[in-house]
Amino acid sequence: MALWSGRFEQSVSEFTQRFGASLEVDKKMARQDIQGSIAHARMLAEQGVITWTDFEHIEVGLLEIENQIRQGRFKYDINDEDIHMSVEGELIEDIGAAGQRLHTGRSRNDQVATDIRLLAKSMLLTLMAENYSLRKVIIRSARKNFGTVMPGYTHMQHAQPVLFSHHLLAYFWMFTRDFKRLNDAYQAADANPLGSAALAGTTYPLDRFRTTELLGFDHPIPNSMDAVSDRDYLLDLLYACSVSMMHLSRLCEEIITWSTTEFGFITLSDEYSTGSSIMPQKKNPDFAELTRGKVGRVYGSLMGLLTTMKGIPLAYNKDLQECKEGAIDAFDTLRDAMICMEGMIDTWTVHEDVMHEEASMGFTAATDVADYLAKRGVPFRKAHEIVGELVLYCEKKHKGLEDLTLKEFRKASPYFSEDIVGELDPEAIARARTTYGGTGHDAVRVQLKEANTQLRRDRNRVKAIRERGGVIE
């Protein structure tokens, strides 16, 4: 019989029991539920609501259940609606009356809200740590391939030569913003709802600041109705996961393109490729494609929870049971995708010669040729027109700018001199971009230094959370 069965003459049907249960999802937060119950029981004993003997029996009983769950020996009752009833039911069976006193001053509403916040903090810390590891690999690859020149693109057309390191570091800064979003979501989750009871608080002399301390929360939530019904922090988690998956997808798109025969910029290692059941020559970037494909499920979880939350009046409603599965799936998906990306980058082979050759094609020097004229007194708009006409001339003659003679250059403008040749080298073009944030060698060295500084700062943030003991993992 359910723990709330006193009011009812009949049990729910087998179907509605199954339809309303969340036990399979809730198993993910068994440890959080047990630690939350131990903190609640300790506080009750400290406040004189239960005896210390009761607390000791409760703590020993809950730790034994936690040990059984960890070892896979715990027998879940299929009739239990959720993890809270499953654990409490087993505890009462094991230790008797003391177990029945555990729920004093507590509702499943504030209990589940506490468990989910603790789980969210654990998931977010894991994602922050994995984000750090991914960015560390990106920096390593940027350093290893420093000086490699590739074509930069706009509209997927050759634009200007850039350093491959500069291109990679653009993703470093994307993932740095993702770290901040994950950290912000962590801070949003780091608030204690325990002691809010069903929605109005309780008449028992509970010390919510004490359970906040025991569970490693930053502060107790000041409004009991908000405490049991808020899931904004899960929306923050899902949004952070969605943006990070979008960034991973963009990089996967590039990896897929770069590894084609047409581009040939990189070769993925065998560990991160698959073959074909019919075409022996194939080496497919399946894991980059799969990561790109998994973005939709994370987006879907975000939209699902937003839709669930839009019509819920205060305070708790059963709809809120739907908040957990999508968040857990988004966590699993993003964590695995970052691990996969880390491995792809760390083991790929970069073909510097192919990138360099491609960087000199497609008139990537055109802007620098226009700048050459502008620096010699030609108004930039006029210089732009002159070089545009040169490009048109080259296309008709099937030439590149680098193939033109000085005579052909001077026919377009008398401001061209012999030193125009130096403006056509892709490495020189990249090196000349010395402005802060540019692709020049010196500018990228500055960027690498700043990236390392940011990485250390974020590593220290993860370390500080762990040292504070603010996460039950």
Q: Is 143 exposed, middle or buried (0-12, 13-18, 19+ CB in 10 A)?
A: middle
Query: Using CA atoms, how far apart are residues 89 and 93, in angstroms rounded to an integer?
Result: 6
Asked whether the beta carbons of 385 and 443 are under 8 A apart, the reply is: no
How do strand 191-192 and strand 219-220 relate by DSSP bridges?
Answer: parallel
pLDDT band at residue 28 using 50, 70 and 90 as cut-offs: very high
**121-133 per-position pLDDT tens digit:** 999 999 999 999 9
- Secondary structure class of 149 (helix, strand, coil): strand
Residue 80, pLDDT > 90, answer no
Q: How far is CA 132 from the centre of its chain?
A: 10
End-to-end CA distance of the chain: 32
Which percentage of the chain shows pLDDT scores above 90? 86
Per-residue model confidence (pLDDT) at position 7: 65
Per-residue model confidence (pLDDT) at position 302: 98
pLDDT band at residue 277 using 50, 70 and 90 as cut-offs: confident
**421-430 per-position pLDDT tens digit:** 878 899 999 9
Per-residue model confidence (pLDDT) at position 473: 74
**327-367 per-position pLDDT tens digit:** 999 999 999 999 999 999 999 999 999 999 999 888 889 99
Helix (H) / strand (E) element for 421: namely none
pTM: 0.93
Average pLDDT, the chain: 94
Residue 326, pLDDT > 90, answer yes
Query: Using CA atoms, how far apart are residues 42 and 449, in angstroms rounded to an integer?
Result: 49
**230-269 per-position pLDDT tens digit:** 999 999 999 999 999 999 999 999 999 999 999 999 999 9
CA atoms within 13 A on the CB side of 146: 13
Catalytic residue at 247?
no
∠ at Cα 113 (111, 114), nearest 5°? 65
- Could you give all domains of the chain from N- to C-terminal order, each with its CATH number? 5-104 (1.10.275.10), 109-358+447-468 (1.20.200.10), 361-424 (1.10.40.30)
Per-residue model confidence (pLDDT) at position 67: 96
- What's the DSSP call for residue 274? B
Write the DSSP assignment of 169-236 as a string of letters.
Answer: HHHHHHHHHHHHHHHHHHHHH-EE-TT-TTTT--SS---HHHHHHHTT-SEE-S-HHHHHH--HHHHH
Per-residue model confidence (pLDDT) at position 370: 93
- When pLDDT is averaged across residues 287-301 and rounded to a whole number, the result is 97
Per-residue model confidence (pLDDT) at position 16: 73
Per-residue model confidence (pLDDT) at position 11: 72
Catalytic residue at 276?
yes
* From 13, 155, 277, 398, active-site residue: 155
Per-residue model confidence (pLDDT) at position 6: 63
The two structure tokens encoding residue 425: 């080298």
Per-residue model confidence (pLDDT) at position 430: 94
Per the rule left: phi > 0, alpha: psi between -120 and 50, beta: everything else, 298 is alpha
pLDDT band at residue 61 using 50, 70 and 90 as cut-offs: very high
* From 276, 351, 360, 398, active-site residue: 276
